[in-house]
Each structure stands twice: as structure tokens, then as C-alpha cells.
């Protein structure tokens, strides 16, 4: 995540609701209108089922208590507003507690097509549909629980499993390549890029993923493709801390992208 941001957290009232102004609601509405056709065409069935179950408001920014009420019934998860930037320790701890941390602000018009840090469109439209599915919710919780047991030096290794699956995972569905990750569902430009045939596609493999570096401020040059969702869910039952140790012993793969100061 970026080290600084021009965005400030919006604070909920005592009922957990946040006041968004007319322009912020309009940005949400326009993002939904622009993104839905691509989502319906390119996103995988688990995401689309979750989006239908949540039945998110399209005319204004949804409220976390309303989304939490639906998730609570389906999988026992909830959504909690947080500042734009939180540390990995807090992030893993919240996932372990079946709580999804949602940045409370929404992007400005000048960042309509791309924003480096997560905003509430990414959090709610991108992430919460998969949290309606018990298996995906359990996978996220397992990564969180592993994160609460590992040392700080392991955070950047463990988070790659989340990044290349829940955030930017792809899958094969009835012979077609589909997007699964929340970062793709909420990105106007990266969703078509991910399945365009231009980036590298690798088969899903936990150790390979843990060794693959990434940058958050570019379209990914590498995506991992899940052929069978059971392979993803089986990762939640692995000894992930042992996997991190094994990956560290092998070392990182060479990056497929230039250094940030040379990009």
C-alpha cells in the first residue's frame, strides 16, 4: 500500500453510518454504471453470485452496517470502516476475526479510472461479493489467522497469497478465462488487461505465489490461474507459515516489472 495518501478517513456515526455528499454518491453511481458491463462479461460465477446476493445500491455509496447485515446472515462476516492505510498486523487480525476492513472514503473524479490505495468502491463492490461464499470467506479467515501467528518479517511473504488470489486471481470456468479477484472487479482498466492475453498467466501454486513480487501501482504483469477452486480452498488447510519459510529459503523470483523509480 502507498506510504501516504491525499485521502482522509470518513468517520461513522454512533450507528456505524457515514455521510457522503452528492458528488461522492455520484462517483459511486458512475463507477457502477461503467464497471457493471465488464464485470458481467468477465468476472467468474462466484463473484457474480455474491454481487446478486448483496444487491448493493447503485445510486449511492452503500453503508457498512447494511452490507454487514447481509454478510452476517450468509457467512458471519462484517465490514468495518478503517482509515485509508492500515498495517498488515491489523489487517490480518481483522480477517482472522471475520471482519473486513473497508477504507471509508471514495475516490475523486481525477482518480476515477485508477486509484493506488483502496477506496470504498474497491472494498464493497470488489471484495464483499466473495465474502458471501462460505469457502472464500474461510480462505480469507485462514490467511488472517496465519498472519496473526507469523512475525512481521513474514507479512510481506504471506500477503502475496491474498494478493494473487482474492485481489487479483483468475480462474478457468467452462473452458473460459474469468477474473475472480476484487482488484479486478473494481478496476476499470485492469479487468480487461488481465484476461487480454498480454500479461503472463501461471498455474496456481502456493509456493510459486509466495515467491512472486508485485507492485501495487501498475497493472500486474503476472496473474495466477486457478483451474479448480478446490485447489484454492485447500490452501486454507495448509501450514501457511511453513510454506512461507520454504518460500523464503528459495528466495524471490526476479520481478517482471521495472523498479518504481525507473517506471
CA distance 111 to 235: 35
pTM for the complete prediction? 0.94
What pLDDT shows up at residue 1?
Answer: 42
Confirm whether 167 is a catalytic residue.
yes
Residue 45 CA, chain-centre distance (Å), reads 16
84-88, Cβ contacts within 8 angstroms, sequence gap of 24 or more: 84/5, 84/7, 84/8, 84/9, 84/117, 84/118, 84/119, 85/1, 85/2, 85/3, 85/5, 85/117, 88/147, 88/152, 88/155, 88/156, 88/159
Type and span of the H or E element at 151: none
pLDDT of residue 228: 94
pLDDT at 172: 97
Set 167, 182, 187, 190: catalytic member: 167
Grid cell at residue 225: 490461474
Residue 112 grid coordinates: 476515477
Contacts of residue 88, Cβ cutoff 8 Å, sequence gap at least 6: 147, 152, 155, 156, 159
Helix residue ranges, H only, 43-122: 45-54, 64-74, 88-96, 120
Closest CA to 112 of 26, 27, 219: 27
Residues counted in the chain: 263
The predicted-structure confidence for 132-167, as pLDDT tens digits, reads as follows 999 999 999 999 999 999 999 999 999 999 999 999
Residue 253 is a catalytic residue: no
Within 13 Å of residue 218, how many CA atoms lie on the same side as its CB? 17
Please identify every stretch of the chain with a pLDDT value under 70, giving residue numbers as ranges. 1-4, 84, 262-263
What distance in Å separates the CA atoms of residue 137 and residue 71, rounded to the nearest whole number?
10
Please, which residues have CB within 8 angstroms of residue 55's CB and are 6 or more apart in sequence? 70
Catalytic residue among 104, 140, 165, 186: 186
Whether 246 is a known active-site residue: answer no
Q: Kindly name the residue from 24, 42, 123, 127 that is annotated as catalytic.
A: 127
What is the per-residue pLDDT for 85? Answer: 78
Active-site residue, from 117, 122, 140, 165? 122
242 in active site: no
Q: Is 1 helix (H, G, I), strand (E, B) or coil?
A: coil
Amino acid at each position: 500500500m502507498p506510504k501516504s495518501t491525499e485521502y482522509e478517513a470518513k468517520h461513522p456515526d454512533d450507528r456505524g453510518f457515514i455521510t457522503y455528499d452528492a458528488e461522492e454518491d455520484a462517483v459511486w453511481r458512475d463507477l457502477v454504471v461503467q464497471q457493471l458491463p465488464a464485470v458481467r462479461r468477465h468476472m467468474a460465477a462466484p463473484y457474480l453470485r455474491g454481487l446478486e446476493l448483496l444487491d448493493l445500491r447503485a445510486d449511492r455509496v452503500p453503508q457498512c452496517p447494511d452490507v454487514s447485515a447481509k454478510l452476517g446472515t450468509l457467512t458471519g462476516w462484517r465490514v468495518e470502516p478503517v482509515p485509508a492505510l492500515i498495517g498488515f498486523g491489523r489487517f490480518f487480525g481483522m480477517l482472522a476475526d471475520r471482519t473486513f476492513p473497508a477504507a471509508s472514503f471514495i475516490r475523486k473524479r481525477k482518480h476515477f479510472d485508477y486509484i493506488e490505495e483502496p477506496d470504498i468502491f474497491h472494498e464493497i463492490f470488489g471484495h464483499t461479493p466473495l465474502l458471501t461464499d462460505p469457502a472464500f470467506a474461510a480462505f480469507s479467515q485462514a490467511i488472517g489467522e496465519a498472519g496473526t501467528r507469523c512475525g512481521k518479517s513474514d507479512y510481506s511473504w504471506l500477503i502475496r497469497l491474498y494478493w494473487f488470489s482474492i485481489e487479483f486471481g483468475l480462474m478457468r470456468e467452462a473452458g473460459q478465462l474469468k477474473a475472480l479477484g476484487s482488484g479486478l472487479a473494481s478496476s476499470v482498466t485492469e479487468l480487461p488487461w488481465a484476461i487480454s492475453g498480454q500479461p503472463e498467466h501461471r498455474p496456481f501454486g502456493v509456493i510459486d505465489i509466495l515467491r512472486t513480487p508485485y507492485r501495487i501501482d501498475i497493472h500486474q504483469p503476472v496473474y495466477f490461474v486457478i483451474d479448480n477452486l478446490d485447489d484454492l480452498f485447500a490452501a486454507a488447510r495448509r501450514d501457511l507459515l511453513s510454506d512461507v519459510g520454504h518460500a523464503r529459503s528459495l528466495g524471490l523470483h526476479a520481478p517482471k516489472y521495472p523498479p518504481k523509480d525507473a517506471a
